[in-house]
Structure 1
Amino acid sequence: MPIYILYAMNWKATLITHKAEKRIAIYFEKSQVFNQRMKTFPDARWSYTLKTWHVPDTEENRLRFKIEAEPKKIHTIENLEQVRKFRNWLQSKRYSPNTIKTYTEALTCFLYFFKNKKVEEITNDDLIVFNNEYILKNNLSASYQNQIVNAIKLFYSTIQNKKIEMDSIHRPKRAKLLPNVLSKQEVKQILTAHVNLKHRVMLSLIYSCGLRRSELLNLKPADIDSNRNLIFIHQAKGRKDRIAPLSPKILEMLRDYYKGYKPKVWLFEGQIKGEKYSEKSLQSVLKFALEKTGIQKPVTLHWLRHSYATHLLETGTDLRYIQELLGHNSSKTTEIYTHVSTHNLQRIKSPFDDL
């Protein structure tokens, strides 16, 4: 997450790494004049991915676009030591690598912001300042703000043994968003779009068992119990194991796939035997299916999991079983699917029809 952002009139510049190169991105309101001006800079390029112009990260360009020399992420040895202690504590508690990375980076950002204060001197009032002068000023998301809050709260309650009451003043209210759900016809189109058997099986298994992307990619051949028609998902989100039933149809597909590909270590492997299929490649599999079907919705792999849960609910499956199948800790998480199920809503007759 970029920290050093300059706002000046209607444009801003920020340091980025794009395609393994250090660059300076320049964001501005749509302007033909500005576009023509950017074309005059040496090695200025337009990124269709980032939707912005970017130039080489040179001293000359830093001066031109008023980018300060990048300081160290941690200002003092003391703060660096605090982050190290926090990382060690997270590792000893067996937090996932992603959580450790997210929390330590969040704490690094927070301690840098208060680089002129000792860690133990930071108070609730400072959290309000941080919220306004960093989170809001840089237009960072509510989810990122929540990550910061979680990291700081955990750090102070464990490493510092000090309680900071931040929930009432610093944690943003979560937006109540409904899960995105596809119709059964749309799901069928996506799952049958590929000619490649491996690609069809991967997408079909996500939908038929309500798997997360990482859960699919971490599967091993031994996780498929064909005798009991079950699939074992090990150490999923929250470090929980669970099982899910395998339909006869997906089991038959898996048998054909196994005969054809003979995976060695992972159930789905990349081009090199023994190497796990990559997340990026899996996303490309879905992207190709969407292009072939012509579905214009911004479908993600997680939409298939949402659709699985909603379709189960619409066919009368009890919420308690759906909660177990999805691996949710709380029934409240699963209850959100009742708001997108159309089974009962379609029975309601509009008073407009009686006019």
Structure 2
Amino acid sequence: MTPLRQKMIDLMVLKGYSPKTQKSYLYSVEKVARHFGRSPDSIDVGELESYFLYLLTEKRMASASVRLIVNGMRFLNNQVLQRPARDFLVRYPKRAQRIPELLTRDEVHRILSHTRNLKHHTLLATCYAAGLRVSELVHLRVRDIDSARELVHIRAGKGNKDREVILPESLLLLLRRYWQFYRPMVALFYGQDPRKPLDAGTVGKIFTRAKAAAGIDKQGGVHSLRHAYATHQLEAGMPTFKLQRLLGHTDMKSTLRYVHWLPSYQNRGKLGMDLLCWSEASS
């Protein structure tokens, strides 16, 4: 391992970057170094822009993948090498501002109703009712369900931040039923090995199958349930500052995009979670 790579790893650890972010930044820098055949600290802005153009036009790489490489190289230049930010003014494709195909409450209900397995039903219901990212969902532990205070504790969410979200009574009842049947000990939603959490990719497949069974052809993966939670809470009248806290957003701009997605946004009272109920007929 080169001293530069070790320095980059050490700095990401000190800054509390998630293992996923560390892996993607290291991969990005390695990719640039392999392309040029030399140390990444010797590559200038002009060369990087030419490389990005090559990736977009000849390699047909998605713009999101190019932005990931940009972020990795920016971290190297600004944080590891401590070069002025003005020295890393590269042109690259910006993120497209598209409105996703939002799920209605009826569609969420249909998806949950077509999840025939109690474990899978509870998994998706928890994702929706607590507005979780899939990485937060799979890392939930049994001890994170605080029934006395009616809260769900999210440990080391995005940005390595802890937070608490509201635990609806209907979800608590569903989780109790799930626990009685599956008896999880540590990981709330475990895979084949009861000691290890379910893989995030498996959650995505469960959602995709349920959505197809429900006859819903809208685009979007399991993260659609988090979008649905946010938009449904706003439609029910939740203030944006409260939604920001529940979603774990550092920047209010991330929360306000949901307002932008809801042109008919207005206060409509409290959102019910009755659609979470598990039916014996589904088993």
TM-score (norm 1): 0.69
| SS at structure 2 position matched to 1:170 | coil
Paired letter, 1:171: Y
Q: Match of 1:213? A: 134
**Taking structure 2 as the reference length, what is the TM-score of the superposition?**
0.86
Q: Could you tell me how far apart the structure 1 residues matched to 2:44 and 2:116 are?
A: 59
Give the Å deviation of 1:251.
Answer: 0.8
Q: For residue 251 of structure 2, what is the aligned residue in structure 1?
A: 330
Greater alpha carbon shift after TM alignment, 161-170 vs 97-106 = 161-170
* Cα 1:342/1:161, change in 2 over 3 Å: closer
User: Does the alignment pair 1:165 with 2:73?
Assistant: no
For the residues of structure 2 that align with 1:297 and 1:227, how far apart are their CA atoms?
Answer: 38
In the other structure, the counterpart of 2:208 is: 287
Structure 1 residues 277, 128: CA separation in 2 closer, same or farther (over 3 Å shift)? closer
After superposition, the Cα gap between the structure-2 partners of 1:88 and 1:311, relative to the gap in structure 1 and judged at 3 Å, is: same
The one of 154, 160, 165 aligned to 1:239: 160
Unaligned runs of 5+ in 2: 267-283
CA deviation string 1:296-325 (max 9, x = no partner): 223411101101100111111111111111
Q: 1:192 to 1:109 in 2, by over 3 A?
A: same
Q: Where does residue 108 of structure 2 map in the other structure?
A: 187
Asked if 2 retains the 8 angstrom alpha-carbon contact of 1:207 and 1:304, the reply is yes
Aligned residue in 2 for 1:313: 234
1:90-129 counterparts in 2 under 5 A?
90-115=12-37, 119=40, 121-129=42-50
Relative contact order higher in (CA < 8 Å, ≥ 6 apart): 2
Between structures 1 and 2, the one with greater helix share: 2
Shift of 1:201: 0.8
Map 1:48-127 → 2, pairs under 5 A: 80-115=2-37, 119=40, 121-127=42-48
Q: How many residues align?
A: 266
Confirm or deny: 8 A CA contact 1:191 1:203 kept in the other structure. yes
CA 1:212–1:158: 2 relative to 1, 3 Å? closer
Q: 1:85 to 1:142 in 2, by over 3 A?
A: same
| Alignment-mate amino acid for residue 301 of structure 1 | V
Matched-pair contact (CA < 8 Å) for 2:25–2:69: yes
Report whether the alignment pairs 1:276 with 2:209. Answer: no
Contact 2:100–2:219 at 8 Å: present in 1 too?
Answer: no
* Post-superposition offset of 1:90: 2.1
Moved over 6 A (4+): none
Aligned residue for 1:223? Answer: 144
Q: Which residue of 1 aligns with 2:121?
A: 200
Residue 249 of structure 1: which of 156, 170, 184 is its match?
170
Give, as a single letter, the amino acid of the residue that structure 2 aligns with 1:163.
Answer: P
1:206–1:282 CA distance, 2 compared to 1 (3 A): same
RMSD: 2.1
**Offset, 1:283:** 2.0
Where structure 1 has 5 or more consecutive residues not aligned to the other structure, the ranges are 1-76, 346-355
Given the alignment of the two structures, is residue 150 of structure 1 paired with residue 59 of structure 2, yes or no? no
Change (3 A) 1:124 1:196: closer
Using the TM superposition, give the Cα deviation of residue 156 of structure 1 relative to its aligned residue in structure 2, in angstroms: 2.0
Q: CA deviation at 1:197?
A: 1.3
Distance verdict in 2 for CA 1:227–1:159, change over 3 Å = closer
Amino acid at match of 1:222: R
Q: C-alpha displacement at 1:135, in angstroms?
A: 4.3
Partners of 1:157 and 1:163 within 8 A in 2: yes
Query: Which of the two has higher C-alpha Rg?
Result: 1
Q: Which amino acid aligns with 2:250?
A: N
* 3-state SS of paired residue (1:129): helix
Equivalent of residue 137 in structure 1, options 33, 55, 58: 58
Relative to total residues, which structure has the larger strand share, 1 or 2? Answer: 1
Distance in structure 1 (CA, Å) of the matches to 2:22 and 2:42? 25
One-letter amino acid of the structure 2 residue matched with residue 107 of structure 1: V
